[in-house]
Structure 1
Amino acid sequence: MQDTGPNGHPPLSQDTSPCQYYGGTSSDLSLERNIGLLVKQVHTLMHRVIDLCTYPMGLTANQWRPLLLILVRGIDTPAELARALDVDTGATTRMLDRLESKGFVRRERVPEDRRVVKIVPTDEGRAVADQILPAISQALNVHLNGFSEDEIHILIALLKRMIVNGEHHLLQAANSPADTPAPTDTP
């Protein structure tokens, strides 16, 4: 009989020693073994399926995400939305232009400070946003087809642990001495 952890699920390894799974060769990093590429492929496919589910609502990927953030997280300024989406303000302006032309949001200047613009969802925007989470659920379930409930819980736990590991590493790098070069986007 297998031991169980919290909630009756198999316990995950608590080993915190540095992992050396990948050796840096091309065979180590092949598509079949490269976790980064596999996660990216799953991410891309999930968003393509979500796009199929949100298309009948008149939304593209660049529209359902910001609309959901505006309504679910209460984001109400373009700058805050740009930070949440990790895009530049120009891209945010274009997204908001499209959402506004479809009647899902409107932008209003704050009377006390005309430099500040608030994003206000319309009734039509609220109505379509109510359909987004069910569409995302449908898309996620497509990708979980054939998984047992235990496998889903294990997958979630493993992904969360990868996130914690990455965040911990970034925090350590940010606190390291100044002579350690910071990662850049250019080779």
Structure 2
Amino acid sequence: MKKVNPDNSLGFILNRTNTRMKNALLHKFRDYDLTPEQWAVLNRLWVKEGVTPKELADLTCKDQPTTVRMLAKLQNKGYITREVNPEDSRSFLIYLTSKGREAKDILFPLAFEVLNEATRGIEAEQLEAAKSILNQIYRNLESQR
């Protein structure tokens, strides 16, 4: 049997890198009382508002209960608002507030600082290859659900 070095396993490397990225974002967003997970929700809403919590959960790869909790926190912080869905009065649609829209101009540069630091010394072609490989791994595992 082949000896496996746990420090060199793909899962460990992915987890360690994800943790480091999240911690760096958390540090950058500290003054705005936002987590990387909340940033992901805002990021999706900057692209398209008026979506359901379920849609946001799918778009951010989170479960629905976690997403609902994040939305409640974002609403309490004044970044989003919930409106009754006109097509289904049992559900809500999520919209940005003016504070949520304005946050984009502040938070994007901070996120890019982290991304630029994280990818320092890596060629664009290497980054595209890495993203392609990681997306293929995701798709491979998605089919097993």
Contact 1:69 1:75 in 2 (8 A): no
Q: Which structure has the larger Rg over C-alpha atoms?
A: 1
Paired amino acid for 2:3: T
Is 1:30 paired with 2:1? Answer: no
Paired amino acid for 2:20: L
Is 1:42 paired with 2:17? Answer: yes
Would you say how many aligned residue pairs link Structure 1 and Structure 2?
145
- Find the counterpart in structure 1 of residue 63 from structure 2: 88
Q: For the structure 1 residues 113 and 46, does the alpha-carbon distance in structure 2 shift closer, same or farther, using more than 3 Å as the test?
A: same
TM-score, structure 2 as length reference: 0.83
Stretches of structure 1 that go unaligned for 5 or more consecutive residues are 1-22, 175-181
Deviation for aligned residue 1:24: 4.6
Partners of 2:139 and 2:54 in 1: CA distance: 27
Instruction: For 1:22-171, list aligned pairs within 5 A.
Output: 24-26=2-4, 29-31=5-7, 33-74=8-49, 76-145=51-120, 147=121, 151-163=122-134, 165-166=136-137, 169=140
Deviation for aligned residue 1:164: 5.4
Q: Which has the higher helix share?
A: 2
Question: Percent identity, aligned pairs only?
Answer: 26
Stretches of structure 2 that go unaligned for 5 or more consecutive residues are none
Deviation for aligned residue 1:165: 4.3
Q: For the structure 1 residues 157 and 129, does the alpha-carbon distance in structure 2 shift closer, same or farther, using more than 3 Å as the test?
A: closer
Partners of 2:63 and 2:119 in 1: CA distance: 33
Q: Which has the higher contact order (CA 8 A, sep 6+)?
A: 2
* Higher mean C-alpha displacement, 125-134 vs 156-165: 156-165
Tell me which stretches of 4 or more aligned residues in structure 1 moved more than 4 Å. 167-171
Alignment RMSD, CA only? 2.5
Deviation for aligned residue 1:112: 4.2
